[in-house]
Amino acid sequence: MNTVSDLFGTSVFNDSVMKERLPKETYKEFRKALDEGKRLDIDTANVIANAMKDWAVERGATHFTHWFQPMTGVTAEKHDSFISPGSDGSVIMEFSGKELVRGEPDASSFPSGGLRATFEARGYTAWDPTSYAFIKDGVLCIPTAFCSYGGEALDKKTPLLRSMEAINKEALRIVRLFGNTSAKSVKTTVGPEQEYFLIPKELFDERKDLIFTGRTLFGARPPKGQEMEDHYFGAIKPRVQAFMKELNEELWKLGILAKTEHNEVAPAQHELAPIFTTTNIATDHNQLTMEIMQKVAKRHGMVCLLHEKPFAGVNGSGKHNNWSISTDTGINLLEPGETPYDNAQFLLFLVAVIKAVDEYQDLLRISASCAGNDHRLGANEAPPAVVSMFLGEELTEILDAIENDAAYCHKEKVQMKIGVHVIPKFPKDTTDRNRTSPFAFTGNKFEFRMVGSSMSIAEANITLNTAVAKELKEFADELENAADFTGTLHDLIKKTIIEHKKIIFNGNGYNDEWLKEAVENRKLLNLKSTPDCLPYLIKDKNVALFRDFKVFTETELKARYEIMLENYVKTIRIEALTMVDMVNRDILPAISTFTRRLADTAAIKKAVANAESSYETSRLAELSALESSILNAVDVLDESLTAAEENDMQKQAEYYHDSVFVNMQSLRAVVDRAETLTPSDVWPFPSYGELLFGVR
């Protein structure tokens, strides 16, 4: 049996492999280019490409691909073999530096938001040397950026890399002001916790809604759901444990730092959490994690559901984006230390994040916006749609003391006493955790809990990196020109606290009183749906932010606005069409079959016993009424789809939210009631109970 250390990274062309296989000068040039952010020359690229090819072929790879992340929400790849014709009719295995550095996929069918006409097909993929190449399913995958013929970003990696450059530049200015001359770079790091559901594949295959949309569009609640909370952290079922074991092994081979696994709150729901790594690599790894989860689940006779709300009435799935910022020398700039009130550098970075979240709360909300996540936000165990920050008791008291020019009384850590002598004492954390906060400080990082389980974490981190870079730039501009650095620093921190403390809330985010206070008194935004959010993306202040830090041009940003609107409309439309299909072709015929059975039974009883049957008669009347209601509701939904003809994409998204989606909810209500009155042998789809408790 292979140990974890034997498995880890065996499918990755990582730094240790390069150091072993590349000539010393080539490796030195590669590291220099990487550390200094410079381009590799073609000769160096040729040597690396040949070594990469030899390594991949030795491991059974026959093809390579430029692996990229277009605006579809998933990854893309086009495979090319290593073979080239030999002069004697044989083939040789070749891979050049030109093929490594640049690819040319057809860009016409990827979402572009109007950046590319359909007939303009050329696009380019460009090697990202900061993310290691890897072998997946016998193919050498080279992580790449993806751009149009005109150079506009058509992917999620390119703006993420741009945002990392922006925060690196501004954060370095700040650490230099505090006397740190050894750090060469500052990087953000991320650990995304991934939630998911596992259900039996044979049941999944019987549900059109799951196949077409990833969520159940109909479904009556089972007698038992998550009420007992006995699934949370409960013993993992053997079948699920076998899945998790293979999943870990596959992820470890790809160098993914899979660390923590457990049952989540809802039946059939689970979570995987990795160790932190650089944001760009963490984003690549999370995309791979979602793909590998789905593949491994099928090998175990299950399907992995990544939709944010696959089952109404039970917890949805999120992706908690744990974000921090560190120097290349290992200093976490969000680490308070033992005496955070004396840690001026930490306090400055802290208030920079506070200011960024307050000023760009709209962008953070947008970064977690999609049709699926609209079902989740504000519901069970998910944060509300209002963005706020949790700092905890100690940090809040420190900021209050600074604001009021008061002394802060440091509190020594309390030793936890359980009352059982054999259990060792341990220090109690200075603050509790808040699971209702969208953006919570958790010790030396911030946990952004809004991101949906199926979403890329790129958008959230692009926003965080860029917004914090902007605040750090403003701070550096002021401090670098200060005659009295210490006094200016104190005044700057104090001023920032006073102006932006309204975003800080340590209480229960689910409380209706908080939502009222947030909107009416604090003037925070409550953007409940994707169509509500998206117009804020192209507001002048947000366009200026991304443009000034060269993360998005105005054209690129407007293109993303169009793509997100289009994705929303298409998602709701597919769901509505699926509902219409399921009702007309499966559900109404099933109800009709059962009502005919009831009528026949009632007639037989009357003929034999000359008596009315109360069960058959009453049930027949109720189902007949429901059948009429369903028929009416499905016709209304169908008509609303036909009426959705609007050229303005924003208005179309609003129409789908306000009309089509509302009609979908009305249809679902009567169908779910009919399910509770119809025998399982007649109802055409597996029930919630079967789906949620089917993996044994």
Residue 656 identity = Y
3-state SS assignment for residue 198: strand
Contact in structure between 199 and 214 (CB atoms under 8 Å): no
Q: What's residue 419's pLDDT? A: 57
Angle at 650 between CA 665 and CA 152, to 5 degrees: 125
3-state secondary structure of 66: strand
Closest CA to 643 of 624, 629, 658: 658
Distance CA 466, CA 472 (A): 10
CA 174 to chain centre: 30
Q: In this predicted structure, what is the pLDDT of residue 226? A: 76
Give the chain's residues under pLDDT 50: 426
Gap between the Cα atoms of 133 and 140, Å rounded: 7
- State both tokens at 455: 């979403």
How far is Cα 472 from Cα 675, in angstroms, rounded to an integer? 57
Cα three-residue angle 655-657-663, rounded to 5 degrees: 95
Instruction: Quote the CA–CA distance of 646 and 569 in Å, as a whole number.
Output: 11
Report the distance separating Cα 367 and Cα 457, nearest Å: 8
Angle between helix axes 157-177 and 279-299 (nearest 10 degrees) is 140
* Cα 667 to Cα 219, 573, 663, distances in angstroms: 12, 15, 6
Q: Rounded CA gap, 141 and 68, in Å?
A: 9
**Residue ranges of E strands in 265-339:** 269-274, 277-278, 302-305, 319-327
Long-range contacts of 538-547 (CB under 8 A, 24+ apart): 539/362, 541/359, 542/360, 542/362, 542/363, 545/360, 545/363, 545/466, 545/467, 545/470, 546/159, 546/466
In 549-613, where does DSSP find H-type helix? 554-582, 588-609
Three-state secondary structure call for residue 509? coil
Find, among 236, 68, 111, 156, the residue nearest to 569 by Cα. 111
pLDDT in tens, 148-183: 878 888 899 999 999 999 999 999 999 999 999 999
What SS3 class is residue 189? strand
Domains along the sequence of the chain with CATH: 4-155 (3.10.20.70), 163-552 (3.30.590.10), 567-692 (1.20.120.1560)
The β-bridge relationship of strands 63-67 and 139-148 is: parallel
Which residue in 293, 271, 247, 307 sits closest to 73, CA to CA?
A: 307
pTM of the model: 0.93
User: Using a CB cutoff of 8 Å and minimum separation of 24, what contacts does 535-541 make?
Assistant: 535/650, 536/362, 536/363, 536/365, 536/366, 537/362, 537/363, 537/366, 537/561, 537/564, 539/362, 541/359
Question: In angstroms, rounded to a whole number, what is the distance separating the alpha carbons of residues 595 and 621?
Answer: 9
